[in-house]
Amino acid sequence: MRIVCPFCGERELGEFTYLGDAKPVRPEAGASEDEVFDYVYLRDNVAGQTSEYWYHGGGCRAWLKVTRNTLTHEISSVEPAAGAGATKVGA
């Protein structure tokens, strides 16, 4: 598996670190216990197309949002992750 970093080009997997599913959104401060539980612990754990965060620690150190198929490891898109490292992305 290789990831095409939008800043550095195609690089081998060892340069990247996986953070996890990009779908869960951190609840607001006043969120209920159920919402926090859901965010921290429950996962869709999709078999197929999924969107996830990867960190390019061995390269430009940007956070990336990667669309990948968990059944085949095929990557269909890589883009800078908005929010995480947004200022760097915009620069």
Partner 1 sequence: MKYSIFSLARAALSGHKNWQRTWRDATPKDRYDVVIIGGGGHGLATAWFLASEYGIKNVAVLEKGWIGSGNAGRNTTIIRSNYGLPGNTGFYELSMKLWERMEQDLNYNAMVSQRGVINLYHSDAQRDAYARRGNTMRINGIDAELLDLAAVRKMIPFLNFDNARFPVQGGLLQRRGGTARHDAVVWGYAHAASALGVDIIQNCEVTGFVREANGKVTGVETSRGKIGAGKVGMAVAGSSSRVAAMAGLRLPIESHVLQAFVSEAIKPLIPGVMTFGAGHFYVSQSDKGGLVFGGDIDGYNSYAQRGNMPVMEDVCEGGMALMPMIGRVRLLRQWGGIMDMSMDGSPIIDKTPVDGLYLNAGWCYGGFKATPGSGFVFAHLLARDVPHEEAARFRLDRFRTGAMIDEKGQGAQPNLH
Does position 14 interact with partner 1 (CB under 8 A)? The reply is yes
8 A C-beta contact, residue 56 and residue 79? no
> To the nearest whole angstrom, how small is the minimum distance from the Cβ of residue 87 to partner 1?
26
The Cα–Cα gap between 43 and 38 comes to 8
x/- binding map, residues 40-69, to partner 1, per CB under 8 A? Answer: xxxxxxxx--x-x-----------------
Does position 10 interact with partner 1 (CB under 8 A)? The reply is no
> To the nearest whole angstrom, how small is the minimum distance from the Cβ of residue 90 to partner 1?
27
Q: In residues, how long is the chain? A: 91
For residue 54, give the 3-state DSSP assignment.
strand
